[in-house]
Amino acid sequence: MYQYVPTILADPCANVDCGDNGVCDGGVCVCTGGYTGDMCDTPSDPCANVDCGDNGDCDGGSCVCSVGFIGDRCNKPARIFICTFENRVDLDCMLSNAPGSSNLWEVQSVSNRRTGIQTGPSKAFTGDQFMSIEGQDGFIRSTLMLDDITGSGKYCLVLNYNMNGRGIVSLKVREGTRLVFHKRGHQGNSWITAKISLTLKPGQQKTIEGTSKGKRGNIAIDDVELFPVSCRKILTCSFEKNSQKCFRKADWKRESKSYAHDGYFLIQPRSISPTLDIDTDKFSGQSCLSFFYRKERANTGSLKVFTKAQGGNKEKRWESSTSDSVREWIPVVIPILIDNDHQVTIEASVSYQKRRQLSIDSLLMVNLPCP
Ligand SMILES: [Ca+2]
Ligand SMILES: [Ca+2]
């Protein structure tokens, strides 16, 4: 007998698992949400549409920038310019005398300054050279212009100045016509660090202007640097009486001696291992710590920089060399990555007999990668 057997068409999707990111159609997975693969289980490449330019690499959808660059696309230099005045033509320095000036700002060194006149710095802030105006009989006004910088938003100008002389009238920084920094008169023979907030607008003129009358009217500047961050992201500590504090806690002693890097400095006191806790509350990410240190004798002991996360262990980031030269200010630059709640500490360790032989001065910490 013939028996009717109904034909049951097998569902081609019955045994196909397309997971959460695909639907089966005729036995084949059609993927959604950028997923690929037979079973729609290969996530899309988060870097597929991310362009990090020439100065960065994409990692997990965001750019990791090469040293010296910042920004979402790594297209912003971390340091806009720095003028150390150590070369006659400072290629990175974007300062130039205003056209038509009769009294120019000029690169000087202490060795070729006029002698016997009580004005000007007795040494450069760093290196051997600085930029200055020389007092003359009568009134002079000398203006430096910052080159037009492509960019907008908050910037911070860090300027070290020396205003030593009874003929000094003033040092001013202007943004357009707005006065953003103004210091009047003789300030003593020390280098002072100023942080000046700038808000850049394309085409807006920015100037540094020195005025003086009489031969004791030298004004000097050195290590002028423009950073593409707000001044809140920069700590400066010159340890002068009125200087802004850059630390939470310090058991170092503040002193002034003829060999200071500039004015007052911190000297390691009687305790054997004094620490200086830098106030990095407003910092996160790549940062750069720089300062000067000095040892009065060989084998004085060591200076170390540590970071410590809350509840974590101390991690050593830097240590001074045992072969450091003595009685000389040594500059140091230390890259530091600040994660959440990271404490940054400078610590000295010396024997009791060698106490008060180690000093630090002119600290600068910036929430930007080191140059
Ligand atoms: Ca210099
Ligand atoms: Ca100082």
Residue 49: what pLDDT?
A: 84
Q: Compute, in angstroms, the gap from residue 213 CA to the centroid of ligand 1.
A: 25
CA distance 104 to 119: 17
Q: Compute, in angstroms, the gap from residue 83 CA to the centroid of ligand 1.
A: 8
pLDDT tens for 130-139 read 999 999 999 9
Residue 349: what pLDDT?
A: 83
Calculate mean pLDDT across residues 151-179. 92
Q: Compute, in angstroms, the gap from residue 122 CA to the centroid of ligand 2.
A: 14
Are the beta carbons of 330 and 292 closer than 8 angstroms?
yes
Are the beta carbons of 108 and 129 closer than 8 angstroms?
yes
Report the candidate in 209, 208, 217 with the shortest Cα–Cα distance to residue 139.
Answer: 217
Please tell me the number of the ligand nearest to residue 363's CA.
2
Percent of the chain with pLDDT over 90: 35
Q: Is a pLDDT exceeding 70 seen at residue 188?
A: yes
Q: Quickly state the pLDDT bin for 242 (edges 50, 70, 90).
A: low
Alpha carbon 67 to chain centroid, angstroms = 13
Q: Is a pLDDT exceeding 80 seen at residue 106?
A: yes
Terminal alpha carbon distance of the chain: 94
Q: Is a pLDDT exceeding 70 seen at residue 247?
A: yes
Calculate mean pLDDT across residues 344-360. 82
Q: Is a pLDDT exceeding 90 seen at residue 189?
A: no
Residue 180: what pLDDT?
A: 97
CA distance 369 to 101: 37
Burial of 197 (0-12, 13-18, 19+ CB in 10 A): middle
Q: Quickly state the pLDDT bin for 46 (edges 50, 70, 90).
A: confident
| Phi, psi dihedrals of residue 354, rounded to the nearest 5° | -100, 15
Q: Compute, in angstroms, the gap from residue 266 CA to the centroid of ligand 2.
A: 8
Calculate mean pLDDT across residues 242-260. 76
Q: Compute, in angstroms, the gap from residue 155 CA to the centroid of ligand 2.
A: 24
Q: Compute, in angstroms, the gap from residue 225 CA to the centroid of ligand 1.
A: 12
Please tell me the number of the ligand nearest to residue 331's CA.
1
Alpha carbon 189 to chain centroid, angstroms = 26
Question: Is residue 20 classed as helix, strand or coil in its secondary structure?
Answer: helix
Calculate mean pLDDT across residues 64-75. 77
Q: Compute, in angstroms, the gap from residue 219 CA to the centroid of ligand 1.
A: 14
Contacts of 73 (CB under 8 A, 6+ apart): 51, 52, 53, 56, 63
Are the beta carbons of 85 and 107 closer than 8 angstroms?
yes
Q: Is a pLDDT exceeding 60 seen at residue 7?
A: no
Alpha carbon 62 to chain centroid, angstroms = 23
Q: Compute, in angstroms, the gap from residue 94 CA to the centroid of ligand 1.
A: 15
Report the candidate in 165, 257, 260 with the shortest Cα–Cα distance to residue 215.
Answer: 165
Residue 5: what pLDDT?
A: 57
Residue 162: what pLDDT?
A: 94
Residue 241: what pLDDT?
A: 66
Alpha carbon 44 to chain centroid, angstroms = 37
Q: Is a pLDDT exceeding 80 seen at residue 77?
A: no
Q: Is a pLDDT exceeding 80 seen at residue 113?
A: no
Q: Compute, in angstroms, the gap from residue 264 CA to the centroid of ligand 2.
A: 4
CA distances (Å), origin 157, targets 154, 175, 198, 206: 10, 11, 7, 11
Calculate mean pLDDT across residues 331-339. 91
Which of 98-102, 147-151, 179-183 reaches the highest mean pLDDT?
179-183
Q: What is the pTM of this model?
A: 0.76
List CB-based neighbours of ion ligand 2 within 5 Å: 238-239, 262-265, 361
Residue 164: what pLDDT?
A: 94
CA distance 209 to 207: 6
Q: Compute, in angstroms, the gap from residue 109 CA to the centroid of ligand 2.
A: 20
Count the residues in the chain.
Answer: 371
Residue 90: what pLDDT?
A: 57
- Of the ranges 119-128, 149-158, 235-244, 284-293, which one carries the lowest mean pLDDT score? 235-244
Q: Compute, in angstroms, the gap from residue 102 CA to the centroid of ligand 2.
A: 34
Q: Quickly state the pLDDT bin for 286 (edges 50, 70, 90).
A: confident
Residue 306: what pLDDT?
A: 93
Residue 104: what pLDDT?
A: 94
Tokens of 209: 């202007």
Q: Is a pLDDT exceeding 70 seen at residue 141?
A: yes
Mean pLDDT of all residues belonging to the chain: 85
Please tell me the number of the ligand nearest to residue 329's CA.
2
- Of the ranges 136-145, 267-276, 291-300, which one carries the lowest mean pLDDT score? 267-276
Q: Compute, in angstroms, the gap from residue 107 CA to the centroid of ligand 1.
A: 9
Calculate mean pLDDT across residues 145-163. 86
List domains and CATH numbers for the chain.
19-76 (2.10.25), 78-228 (2.60.120.200), 235-366 (2.60.120.200)
CA distances (Å), origin 55, targets 67, 205, 226, 287, 335: 8, 29, 20, 18, 18
Q: Is a pLDDT exceeding 90 seen at residue 165?
A: yes
CA distance 52 to 131: 38
Q: Compute, in angstroms, the gap from residue 184 CA to the centroid of ligand 1.
A: 23
Contacts of 222 (CB under 8 A, 6+ apart): 84, 85, 124, 125, 126, 129, 130, 131, 160, 162, 191
Please tell me the number of the ligand nearest to residue 241's CA.
2
Q: Quickly state the pLDDT bin for 35 (edges 50, 70, 90).
A: confident
Q: Quickly state the pLDDT bin for 115 (edges 50, 70, 90).
A: low
Please tell me the number of the ligand nearest to residue 220's CA.
1
Q: Compute, in angstroms, the gap from residue 112 CA to the centroid of ligand 1.
A: 14
